[in-house]
Amino acid sequence: MFDRFKTAIAEQLSEISGGDAKVIFEGLQPPKEETHGDFSFAIPRLRIKGNPKQMAIDFAEKFKTNELITKAASSGPFINFSIDKNVLRDDVLKAVYEQKEKYGTNTTGKGQHAIVEFSSPNIAKPFHAGHLRSTIIGHFICQLYKANGWDVTSMNYLGDWGKQYGLLAVGFKKYGSEEKLEQDPIKHLYEVYVSINAEAENDPNIQDQARAYFKRMEEGDEEVLGLWQRFRDMSIAKYKDIYARLGIHFDVYSGESQVTNGMNRAMKLLEDAGMVKEDDGAQLIDLEKYKLGKALVKKKDGTTLYLTRDIGAAIERYETYKFDKIIYVVSSQQDHHLKQLFKTIDLLKLPYADKFQHINYGLILGMSTRKGTVVFLEDILDNTRDHMHEVMKQNEDKYAQLEEPEYVADVVSKSAIYVQDFAARRIKDYKFNWDRVLSFEGDTGPYLQYAHARLCSMERRANVKINPNADLSVLTEPAVYSIITMVAQWPDVVKSTMETLEPSTVVTYTTRLSREIARAWETLWVVNQPENIAEARLLVYYSARITLGNALRILGLDPLERM
């Protein structure tokens, strides 16, 4: 939104100073103090010999104001510029009206393909808070990449292979029930796993059986693979339902089990590169030189490991998708593993080694239901929804107006969970706080949804319609400009968040926008106003509503029309 203003400054200042227009364009920043205008430029960036303060004075004096730039003034070694707010207002309102859901998106990633691997729970194990974070952060990254014009493949890399699945199969023979498996595969497999695990602790015999079973799996024994395939298929079907509730879709359900050929090829590549060392029958790669220790890639009995499968998967993924970028959204508890993986890919001199990125995050502490520990995603969602539903019922009048209170409770509670999670930088641990999750005030998900729903309600109740040709010259209040300035920043937020992939950047922006909207409610009325004023103001609120909705969608949330 600001590009044409920045270009106008850059072109003229370049002519006056002889400096590079591009350097000026890139160097234009919002000034520290609001009273200093809209953009500030630091003269030393030009790398021109002379006294920066004197140059700032000279250049500002020579700068001719025009229909876009209304003021240029020096301040120490800086020049501060003010832009014509009415031009900005007209540009913004027009752009939002024309682009609607697309407002804020850009095409910088056109023709490029990214794979985002996220969520990746383990079959028969709890879906813990770490998986929840991977799920929502990963989905956010997909939305963000799409908004920046990329093609995105979302991938779930299930933990569905390894000795523990041998153990699970052994357990299923003893404790399994077909009926329960049909009913809720995820929970039942978990129960079976817990029982057999407890038994295996005291009985080495069971461990041996599990090892032998897994060996048969790795050898491709059809009988054992049949059972395992059923576990996997049924778990995926159930997962799909739960993800659907979050509005999340995976293009690919991959998993450790799906890495086949790639692994042998990985082993061969490692051997050819002279990286593999024998150690008492097992094989390992030595990454001591890079302070990454030694990593086992093949066990004594010939079975493979988590790392080996990841190396194989990386090779297969590139061959299948020819991605320009691949992002692994995995807890910082696995930093070491991913460093080993990426280092190995690097050492193998694979030409695509620079396309890998690990996006990590800290822990959620103390996430349990009020009854006890949560182990399944579904429980987390149900629990929060039910609590939220109770809170909503307390406001009887409003509650009576909702057509689908369950749906609203579900979306509001998701918003609460997400925004709490996204509030700080990813790497930070945080304590799950029920009071905060359920609060409708402060920087919370419900607050953002409420701002959106309130804007929708205003549009429903206004006695005028959204009119793109409304006479905007009646808009003179400072509240208008506060909203317009926020709305105008959204396209830049979408772009700049690509550098950090921090959801908190978008949450901070969305909260600020919501606050400006709330502040405007007090002075900028639409009801009971002359028609021309109502129309113009409604268009401003409309631009805020569209932008807020777009921001919520990038965060992975459905904007609510009523709540």
- 295 with 307: CB under 8 angstroms? yes
Work out whether 135 is an interface residue with ligand ARG (CB under 6 A): no
Of the two residues 37 and 121, which places its CB atom closer to ligand ARG in the complex? 121
Q: What is the nearest approach in angstroms of ligand ARG to the Cβ of residue 326?
A: 10
Of the two residues 139 and 545, which places its CB atom closer to ligand ARG in the complex? 139
Active site residues: 125, 128, 131
Question: Token pair for residue 487?
Answer: 């709305």
Q: Which neighbouring-strand residues pair with 378? A: none
Which helix (H) or strand (E) covers residue 83, if one does?
A: strand 78-83
Work out whether 310 is an interface residue with ligand ARG (CB under 6 A): yes
Work out whether 490 is an interface residue with ligand ARG (CB under 6 A): no
* d(C-alpha 192, C-alpha 159), whole Å: 17
* d(C-alpha 412, C-alpha 420), whole Å: 12
Q: What is the nearest approach in angstroms of ligand ARG to the Cβ of residue 269?
A: 18
Please pick, from the candidates 200, 236, 326, 330, the single residue that binds ligand ARG as defined by CB under 6 A.
330
* d(C-alpha 411, C-alpha 394), whole Å: 18
DSSP 226-256: HHHHHHHHHHHHHHHHHHHHTT---SEEEEG
Q: Closest Cα partner for 434 from 395, 399, 388, 394? A: 388
Please pick, from the candidates 159, 162, 176, 556, the single residue that binds ligand ARG as defined by CB under 6 A.
159
Q: What is the nearest approach in angstroms of ligand ARG to the Cβ of residue 313?
A: 6
Of the two residues 122 and 514, which places its CB atom closer to ligand ARG in the complex? 122
- List the x/- string, 414-453, binding to ligand ARG by CB under 6 A: ----------------------------------------
Q: What is the nearest approach in angstroms of ligand ARG to the Cβ of residue 130?
A: 7
- What is the 3 state secondary structure string of 436-465? HHHCCCCCCHHHHHHHHHHHHHHHHHCCCC
Work out whether 328 is an interface residue with ligand ARG (CB under 6 A): yes
Work out whether 308 is an interface residue with ligand ARG (CB under 6 A): no
* d(C-alpha 406, C-alpha 417), whole Å: 16
Question: Token pair for residue 5?
Answer: 């203003």
* d(C-alpha 261, C-alpha 49), whole Å: 62
Of the two residues 160 and 535, which places its CB atom closer to ligand ARG in the complex? 160
Please pick, from the candidates 120, 135, 148, 529, the single residue that binds ligand ARG as defined by CB under 6 A.
120
| 3 state DSSP class of 40 | strand
Q: What is the nearest approach in angstroms of ligand ARG to the Cβ of residue 236?
A: 14
Work out whether 157 is an interface residue with ligand ARG (CB under 6 A): yes
Of the two residues 168 and 548, which places its CB atom closer to ligand ARG in the complex? 168
Of the two residues 115 and 381, which places its CB atom closer to ligand ARG in the complex? 115
Q: Which stretch binds ligand ARG (CB under 6 A): 56-64, 114-122, 166-174, 533-541?
A: 114-122
* d(C-alpha 414, C-alpha 522), whole Å: 29
Identify residue 332 by its one-letter amino acid code.
S
498 backbone φψ class: left, alpha, beta (φ>0; ψ -120 to 50):
alpha
Q: Which residues bind ligand ARG (CB under 6 A)?
A: 117, 120, 122, 157, 159, 310, 328, 330
